[in-house]
Amino acid sequence: MPLDPARYTELFRSESQDQLASINRALLTLESEHESPAAVAEVFRAVHTMKGMSATMGYQALAEFAHELESLLDRMRGAGGRVTQPVMDALFSAADALEAGVAEASETAVRSPVMVRALAALTAAFGAAPMLLHMTEHAILAAAPGVMLGGPTDAGPDAAPDAAADAAPDPFDGPGVIIRVRQAENTVLPGVRAFMVVQRLGAIGEVAAVSPTLDVLEASESAQAFAIRFLTAATRETIEAAVRAAGEIDEVSVDMLGRARKRSSGPVEDPTIEAPSARAARQVRIDITRLDTMMNLVGELVIARGRLLQLTTGSADPALDETVQQTAYLVGELQREVTASRMVPVGQVFDRFPRMVRDAARALGKAVRFEIEGREIELDRSLLDEVSVPVIHLLRNAVDHGLEGPAERIAAGKPAEGRLVLSAVRDRAAVLVSVSDDGRGIDRGRVLDRARATGLVDASVRQLDDTDLLRCIAHPGFSTRETVSGLSGRGVGVDAAVNKVRLLGGSVELHTEVGAGTTITLRLPLTLAIVRALLARAGGEHYALPMTHVRETLAWGPDSVRHVNGRDVLVLRDEVLPLMDLRQLVQLTASRVEGAEREIVVIERGDRRGGLIVDELVGQEDIVVKQFDAARDAHGMFTGATILADGAPALIMDLGSLL
């Protein structure tokens, strides 16, 4: 039965994105080192994988393009992996061509002059297949995959073995372990799975021979049985786990005393060494929409748990109390496990940015050393996808506006190469994502002049602190430049970043110093779905205050409150904190009963603190965040809404925006 590509397109794209990330990562390494056989080999392996997957899916144009690129890379491997800048530009163009083909996942995706020229340029750089350089683009496309480098064209998937092949030496006549694999019936993408078996084995040893050949296996559209001669020191269990990690394997047999090993005259390696890659056998791919659905269901369970606990409070039935407490515990454990399953290292998204920074720097004629710190910090997958947009804006702004050109940096006594750092650190229940550069910094004077001219600040203002500066440059359309850059605009980029982060329930901080650089920090919650919050009441209404920004709570004490410059402040352990009244913030008209008890919630964002006056503190609760359209005059004060245990709604406040 023929393969229906439409059923497996998403799997193909997901697997291909991993390979594209490896290609770009290796190309950046190759460009920085100018000579790296290991990097060229990594690109070659990834392109080879994509060729097999594309052929299996029936994306012939993409497979042909990958095939030609693979041949060119093979020539590069023979040349020792040494490259020049024109070669690197052609390689990056070829990587873009592959990415375009994967994005479209169609037959016509790579039949464009840009991709043909990329291959021709790369071919010219290595002086191979000169006929390719003199052919028209149409002729090149018509000839594919017949044009090859350094030898005859590889046999296609349907090619029959010839007499020379029959006379070839036995591939299993040599040292090693013999592995026999049988794929499960109705295996999805059997050719890709077969290649994955070889790839995973390659991580723990050396694949010496495969029968049938790997090209034949990759082109197959039905389940296969095949054998592998494998050189390794791993145990039988580790080898079998690596094979089964490829998925949809029906049977694996490992002959540790195969005829090859019996012939070996060399020392027998210790078979007790455990390979760490065997852990991959316990991992599976799950569509993020399924995790979203699970999180929504768990959120409803959390609400139901709160309601159940409230209804059974004071129950005289010990058995009922015990059952309710056990149910509440299990719901809590389920919540933690589902939340943990959505957490992924930020490196999965951050690794996309080095290529973008490299391209932006070259377009502007700047030298930039881009560094990523904290790749291992984990964040909710859906949140990580959303935050990539503001990070892109900030990185482009830093390259375009923050970092100077080489001549300007040298004149200022700096290295010609600018430094740009993207970092992630954990801060209690939040993650801080920072973009820092060592460039010229933001000219506060120019920003102030522009802000006065546009009416963003009063004419009497003489100085902008970091908070006011951020508010100005994040205003829509704000810019101090006379010309418009095609790459970015400081105001536009920061505006987009600030708005996006606030929608995610986070906040943005800025620090800049003229001549030393700029740092913009995004403070983000770990997850968007369920958060711990302090519930407060004002005028009979409930409000949820995320614990991320809550430092402590205090009873209202007239002796600790002062009136300074027309506003109330709180004197707390020799620290003066501005006070805000929740009633006034939400514009409640109902009067407060005189003499009634009041509470103060001390909130913080970075090194800024303040006090929020509320009528009453109700307690802490895990709340399920629901998105909503904020009121017209809310000024971004709310990030969402929730349903409390008693069924009443409550607005979730963005405490960071109050400071």
- Per-residue pLDDT for 241 more than 80? yes
Domain hosting 627: range is: 530-658
Reported confidence tier of residue 608, pLDDT bands at 50, 70, 90 = confident
**Residue 259, token pair as written in the block:** 């005829």
Cα separation, 570 vs 600, in Å, equals 9
Q: Are 22 and 49 in contact (CB under 8 A)?
A: no
- Residue 500 maps to which CATH number? 3.30.565.10
Q: What single-letter amino acid sits at 143? A: A
- Per-residue pLDDT for 546 more than 70? yes
- Is 279 inside any structural domain? no
514 and 548 in a common domain: no
- Is 278 inside any structural domain? no
Q: Is the dihedral of CA 622, 627, 631, 632 positive or negative?
A: positive
597 and 550 in a common domain: yes
534 and 653 in a common domain: yes
The predicted structure's pLDDT at residue 141: 39
204 and 187 in a common domain: yes
Exposure on the CB side of residue 496, measured as CA atoms within 13 A: 17
Residue finishing a domain among 525, 550, 570: 525
372 and 305 in a common domain: no
- Is 268 inside any structural domain? no
- Is 229 inside any structural domain? yes
349 and 337 in a common domain: no
Tell me the three state secondary structure of residue 516. coil
- Residue 310 maps to which CATH number? 1.10.287
Partners of residue 507 on adjacent β-strands: 523
Q: Spell 424-433 as b/e; 16+ CB within 10 A means b.
A: beeeeebbbb
- Residue 584 maps to which CATH number? 2.40.50.180
Which residue is it, tokens 């009067």? 591
- Is 450 inside any structural domain? yes
Reported confidence tier of residue 593, pLDDT bands at 50, 70, 90 = low
The predicted structure's pLDDT at residue 547: 85
59 and 180 in a common domain: no
512 and 554 in a common domain: no
Q: Are 644 and 304 in contact (CB under 8 A)?
A: no
- Is 184 inside any structural domain? yes
Q: Are 144 and 132 in contact (CB under 8 A)?
A: no
- Per-residue pLDDT for 169 more than 80? no
**Residue 577, token pair as written in the block:** 């904190």
534 and 521 in a common domain: no
Cα separation, 643 vs 649, in Å, equals 5
- Is 421 inside any structural domain? yes
- Residue 213 maps to which CATH number? 3.30.70.1110
Per DSSP, helices labelled H in 518-658 are 582-585
State mean pLDDT over 173-190. Answer: 82
CA 389, 519, 491 angle in degrees (round to 5)?
A: 55
Comparing 96 with 410, which gets the higher pLDDT?
410
Q: Is the dihedral of CA 61, 65, 70, 75 positive or negative?
A: positive
487 and 399 in a common domain: yes
- Per-residue pLDDT for 96 more than 90? no
Partners of residue 525 on adjacent β-strands: 430
CA 586, 587, 588 angle in degrees (round to 5)?
A: 95
Q: Are 612 and 599 in contact (CB under 8 A)?
A: no
Could you say which DSSP state residue 559 is in? G
- Per-residue pLDDT for 462 more than 60? yes
Comparing 482 with 373, which gets the higher pLDDT?
373
Strand 378-380 vs strand 507-513: parallel, antiparallel, or unpaired? unpaired
605 and 470 in a common domain: no
- Is 165 inside any structural domain? no
Residue finishing a domain among 499, 525, 551: 525
List, as one string, the DSSP characters of 619-648: EEEEEE-B--PPPTT-TT-EEEEEE-TTS-
pLDDT digits (tens, 9 = 90+) for 392-418: 889 998 998 899 999 999 999 999 999
The predicted structure's pLDDT at residue 114: 54
Q: Is the dihedral of CA 493, 641, 554, 539 positive or negative?
A: positive
How many structural domains comprise the chain?
5
State mean pLDDT over 34-39. Answer: 83
11 and 124 in a common domain: yes
The predicted structure's pLDDT at residue 5: 55
Q: Are 133 and 125 in contact (CB under 8 A)?
A: no
